Amino acid sequence: MEELKAGQEALDRFVDTASKAFGRYAELITRDMYEDAVELILAAEKRGNRVHITGIGKPSHVAEYVASLLSSTGTPTYYLHGTEAVHGSCGQLLPGDVVICISNSGETVELKATVSAIKRNGCTVIAVTGNASSWLAQEGDAHLFAGVPEEGGPLDRAPRISVLAEILILQGLSVILQSVRGVSPEEYVMWHPGGALGQLRSHETKATGRQVC
């Protein structure tokens, strides 16, 4: 069918574009990029403060995933609704908390209002953007760059490759924080009592000498 042929061509172009753009972006990621963000989070936790994460549109779904990922690897993180924040949800914030804010353009109008409210509530901001010169990047107390030259796919508009970049940079943050904390297999299993992740692997059992329920 001609429709399927056209779809295959579009898919091939997207995969090729994603492979090249994502690969080039991944090569830019270094430990130094994370230094300010990691320091903000660790300092906040020492004070008894917390971490939150927010975004508008597609980045809001990234935020929910990353909140779960960070929480599961030793950094309790709370999802902050991007638009409800200015309608009362900022009540979950305490002065000194850290809020990770995601926006590819860094110019999203709704997120600007949320960031302004976050800062008025005495919180610090880690900006995740694809534009280091954007409003959000400049407002952030730390900035994580998640920029790619194009999205791929028809019209080159729907967030696709930029979402991959946002996820990758924040997964990297989770890796550094988990490493800094020295999360043990026993701790990880305690936080994942269900499913295959709820059991120590054979080499972990030998290393620790005990099984965790």
Confidence of residue 213 (pLDDT cuts 50, 70, 90): very low
DSSP 82: T
pLDDT band of residue 209 (cuts 50, 70, 90) is very low
> What percentage of the chain has pLDDT greater than the value 90?
82
Residue 206, pLDDT score:
53
Run of H or E including 62: helix 58-72
Alpha-carbon distance of 100 to 64, in angstroms, equals: 11
171, 153 contact by CB (below 8 A): no
The answer on pLDDT for 1 being more than 90 is no
pLDDT tens-digit series, residues 137-150: 999 999 999 999 99
31-86 pLDDT tens trace? 999 999 999 999 999 999 999 999 999 999 999 999 999 999 999 999 999 999 99
Chain segment 112-135, per-residue pLDDT in tens:
999 999 999 999 999 999 999 999
Average pLDDT value for the chain: 93
Rounded Cα distance, 101 and 123, in Å: 12
Domain with CATH 3.40.50.10490 in the chain: 2-182
Three-state DSSP string of the chain: CHHHHHHHHHHHHHHHHHHHHHHHHHCCCCHHHHHHHHHHHHHHHHCCCCEEEEECCHHHHHHHHHHHHHHHCCCCEEECCCCHHHHCHHHHCCCCCEEEEEECCCCCHHHHHHHHHHHHCCCEEEEEECCCCCHHHHHCCEEEECCCCCCCCHHHCCCCHHHHHHHHHHHHHHHHHHHHHCCCHHHHHHHCCCCHHHCCCHHHHHHHCCCCC
Query: Check: CATH 3.30.565.10 for 2-182?
Result: no
Residues 19-40 have a mean pLDDT of: 96
